[in-house]
Amino acid sequence: MDEKVLEEIRFHQDVVNKDANSPLYQIREKEMEISGRVLAAKTQSEKIVSDARKAATDILRTAEADADKAAKKHAEVAITSAESEATTLREQITVDADALKSQLDKRHSEAVDAVVSMVTSV
C-alpha cells in the first residue's frame, strides 16, 4: 500500500482512541481533506491528458486517411488528364500524317516530272 494511505489509517485509529476536538486532530482532518482533493485533481488531470492523447491520435488517424484519399483522387485526376492528352495527341498525329501524305501525293508527280526532265535534258 501507499505510504500515505497507511499513515491515514494509523491516524484514524489514533483519533478513535483520542479526543476529536483537539487542534491537532482538526489540522490532520483538514490535511486529509486537502490530500483527497489533490488526489482527485490529479486523477482528473490524468484522465484529461489521456482523453486529449486519444483525441489527438484519432485526429492524426483521420488526417492521414483524408490525405491518402486526397492523394489517390489527385493521382486519378492526373492519370485521366494524361490519358486524355495522349488520345488527343494520337488523333492529331493521324491528322498530321494524312495531311503530309496528301502533300506528298501532290508533289510526287511534280518530283517525277522534274527528275524526268533533268534526265532527258542531259
Q: Measure the CA–CA gap between 35 and 22, rounded to whole angstroms.
A: 20
Question: CB under 8 Å to 4, separation ≥6 — which residues?
Answer: 35
Show the domain range for 117.
3-121
- Per the structure, the count of domains in the chain is 1
Question: CB under 8 Å to 32, separation ≥6 — which residues?
Answer: 8, 11
pLDDT of residue 60: 97
Cell 522534274, residue? Answer: 114
Q: Measure the CA–CA gap between 3 and 51, rounded to whole angstroms.
A: 29
Q: Is the pLDDT of residue 6 over 80?
A: no
pLDDT of residue 114: 84
pLDDT tens digits for 62-96?
999 999 999 999 999 999 999 999 999 999 999 99
